[in-house]
Amino acid sequence: MRDFLKNVLATVLGIFIFLGLSVSTLVGLILLLATRDVEPQVRNRSVLVVDLSQPITDGKRTVGALSQALSNEPSSMQLRSVLTALNHAATDKRISGVYIHSSGASNGAGFATLKEMREALQRVRASGKRVIAYNTDWSEREYYVASVADTIAINPMGSLEFNGLSSQPLFLKGFLDKYGINVQVTRVGKYKSAVEPFLLNRLSPENRQQTQTLLQDVWGEFLRATGEARKRTPAQLQAIANQQVILLADSATKQGLIDRQAYQDEILDELKKLTGSDAKSRTFRQISLKEYASVAETAINKQTKSNRKVAVVYAEGDIVNGQGDAGEIGGDRFARELRKIRHNDKVKAVVLRVNSPGGSATASEVIQREIALIRKTKPVIVSMGSVAASGGYWIAMDSDRIFAEPNTITGSIGVFGIQPNVQKLANNNGITWDSVKTGQFADSQTITRPKTPAELAKVQVLVDNIYDQFLTKVAKSRKLDKAKVAEIAQGRVWSGTRAKQIGLVDDLGGLEAAIKAAATQAKLGDDWQVEEYPQPRGLEERLFGDQPDQAFAKLPFLKPTEKADVLTKEVIKLQNELSAFRSLNDPRGIYTRLPFTLWIE
């Protein structure tokens, strides 16, 4: 670490001088760098603190030292680190219990991610450790995780959201019409609703049907899991959900969803007793989940050093053509990572963790080809996260086995092309264009005019061709009749449970189950170790992280949080809608992507 500081201190100092930032910020950065490799100490009778506002991602998010120093945002944790920490806590004699709370807005994780976290907490409780959950206002996502606790407490002035799930898509057609922006669409699949925000002012009947079914499946898993924990039937819980929007503390307690009402100081006193802390102490003996994860990972690495690797490759974000930015799956960049893994003799099996709504059809095919090549020499197991649909399914299907959670969102086997033009907007403001060309379709990619019927017909041929390729690939890889695939495709979105029933998924389970299956298929016994990809890319990421542009962002980055005010939530929807639109960079303008506005609230 000292050598590292010597090498970068001059560079960092120059940056700070150039930016005119304060010396105190520089000192804070140096301290951050100097202490980041120091392993936390776990004292006897400690309580592991799980903060449900902690952002959770699949792959590693490299938060650079400079970015962290300039940001007030909580750093994220990998799902696998969360699971490793909780599994280790179940057998660590120094950990006497777990305290679940939320220090801020919801982490926004999908229900499949929360399910894996919830199951790990169940294992901790089953080991005999005490699990206590406390919050002032419980959201459904937080309650889903916390329902495993021995005791769920709430502030007497608090409340519990328990009213079911909803999705309220945002439609842009009226806005586009008002400002003279026209969008023409070519698509295959009656459920392929990704283009509806540009064409309609409300849900199509097909989209309404598939969204309703999906919500019922996700909500059904919620009722089953929380009902089992709280000794209530799904029907009883549904009756509660139908009665009130928000349950106040008294009502939630009477209904048996909450065990007791308490103020935070009372909960702290209970935790002090659990840890043997002095009653006069300000707080109890504790360690955060993030800190404890490094302890757990160090202990496991000491026990399992091996030259035989199971590579876990994270495909997280929109699939885009080319290299892609941070938070995107760049087809060329991702394929390059897969080639390295294919040629790495130490890697004996691969787990592809997919958390993606899809995107570019071209990039999806580039990635899928590399997966097929790996599979010729090494087992490839897919673990689907909260979303693995459309292009996300394209890259997953050519594998030995596919794992998904019951509340995973998958399927969406369909294709669309989108052709916007700004002719009306420009003409209304005095701007016109003319054209000179040497072929009938030489200017067919322009956005200065609508596509002609002949041009749209050409695009439709491309869309139909790629859809047929999609169906053929699914039929071959999943060993299904192509007519059957055509029936369950149509761009329709399925839950993990239904996807297994119709043959799109092999097993229900999470990331850990997929990793064990990969090791088993590769016949590795107990002699293997996980290695994660993509790996950090050097000094620049160490300083600025994998999103260097955010290190100097002047405006806060809006994220979908349940505790945001209603106006902000709609602005966030619009921001994400436009962000998804900007990621559409396929060279042929053909996409395999989930509906942009599929938000579950």
Q: What is the pLDDT of residues 235-263, one digit of tens each?
A: 999 999 998 889 999 999 999 999 999 99
DSSP per-residue string spanning 52-79: TTS-EESS-----HHHHHH--SPPPEEH
Q: Which has the minimum average pLDDT: 186-195, 252-261, 301-310, 515-524?
A: 186-195
Q: Is the pLDDT assigned to residue 363 strictly greater than 90?
A: yes
* CATH topology match: 43-163+247-303 vs 173-204+304-593: yes
Catalytic residue among 390, 399, 412, 495: 390
User: Pairing between strand 415-421 and 401-404?
Assistant: unpaired
CB 308 within 8 A of CB 356: no
Question: What is this structure's pTM?
Answer: 0.84
The CATH homologous superfamily for domain 173-204+304-593 is 2-enoyl-CoA Hydratase; Chain A, domain 1 (3.90.226.10)
Tell me, yes or no, if 139 is annotated catalytic: no
Instruction: Name the amino acid, one letter, at 209.
Output: Q
Give the position of tokens 């197991």: 381
Tell me, yes or no, if 192 is annotated catalytic: yes
Q: From CA 526, how far away is CA 520, in angstroms rounded?
A: 9
Q: What is the DSSP letter of 327?
A: T
Structural domain spans, the chain = 1-38, 43-163+247-303, 173-204+304-593
- The rounded percent of the chain whose pLDDT value lies above 90 is 56
pLDDT for res 418: 82
**Which top CATH class is 43-163+247-303?**
alpha beta
Cβ contacts of residue 300 below 8 Å, gap of 6+? 84, 88
598-to-30, 143, 304, 323 alpha-carbon distances in Å: 42, 22, 41, 26
127-to-81, 92, 131, 397 alpha-carbon distances in Å: 19, 10, 11, 37
Catalytic residue among 60, 192, 272, 290: 192
Q: Is the pLDDT assigned to residue 22 strictly greater than 70?
A: no
**Averaged over 193-200, what is the pLDDT?**
84
Q: What is the pLDDT of residues 37-90, one digit of tens each?
A: 567 889 999 999 999 999 999 887 655 444 444 445 557 899 999 999 999 999
